[in-house]
Structure 1
């Protein structure tokens, strides 16, 4: 399967053919739909069929391998036939919010010195959990620093390294709860020069300025050293 979102997160649609369709979901030969993973929700949208029908896609999930992606139709939708030609269309407004939020979480990670123990990307608010033995950071300072990095409009680019190169640089892995995918020979990193560099297979904006103003919400105590930092788009 050709994962088009991996090379161009700004593709909103693509022409594709149905490889298979069953209770587990719909497989296409190529897709712009990102499958749930790394804290980022799976994409939703439409499959437009040649007969004019529009099949609603409620979710996207990973299948049996790195390349296997399953589109989950909304309840009650009739499955397309194998071999059918379709146009896959993202719910772009939702996806773009995920891209902005996911990139902002990388900025947050660059400002907080502690292992990441969990996280979740959302369309309107997101969070990261950190192991912080020295206590919580200041909320006002974090908000100011996040918005400074956003205003500076840093470029955001994917880069690839080999599994061996990642194994030789374990400091690149900040997330304790999710291990970067390995075994395929190479691993994708997200690079914000001078700010952040770590493995990530999600979708992101091309420059930090696209994120827009944000604010830090609650900083919650989730354990002896665990702190949950919530962020949202500023109103």
Structure 2
């Protein structure tokens, strides 16, 4: 009987965990337009600054892996950003522990990318809608804020994300990230994210207006921590009033 060699059913993990993001800037007619290089460099620097701030305690997950970005130009105003982390060369890529680590790192990069996109989207909405006001809600999956415009809730943002966004360091980083939106003629940006190996691609569209351009050019973000505190205080006050009304109603029922 011939001997057999055990087959490695787990295969070999790729040496890099990667998430791909493509950003396209267009005019009002949906056409790409040439953009100067300086805002692009500014955006890339802001992206790096925000990433270091967001990683925080999660740095331990990618400890020993080299994490960085690369950016390439695909069209007049289309850019591909690769968020990646690479395993140390001394590590065997066939070990189960390495495969597990790869999955954890990829999950972290995907979540990091989602948070970066959400931060940019939220900041652009806030900068572009200075007349909106905030409403704080403590939901089933944690607290969040609603942005109210003309009496309607038009945007929902996780409370922790919004609190991170209004911090001074984050505001500066976001302003750098959205630098290309301040260019004349840019009407909106489309952000498409995909994970290599998966067919699904998510898209986020960020419109530009004069308010957003003012912010990108150095103006203040229309919302601050004080706005968030006021919304929380208002929600707490309304909650206490509702509780008092309910208690009074119960008392009348008992009488």
> Normalising by structure 1, what TM-score?
0.31
Q: Tell me which protein shows more helix as a share of its residues.
A: 2
Q: Tell me which protein shows more strand as a share of its residues.
A: 1
Larger RCO of the pair (alpha carbons < 8 Å, separation 6+): 2
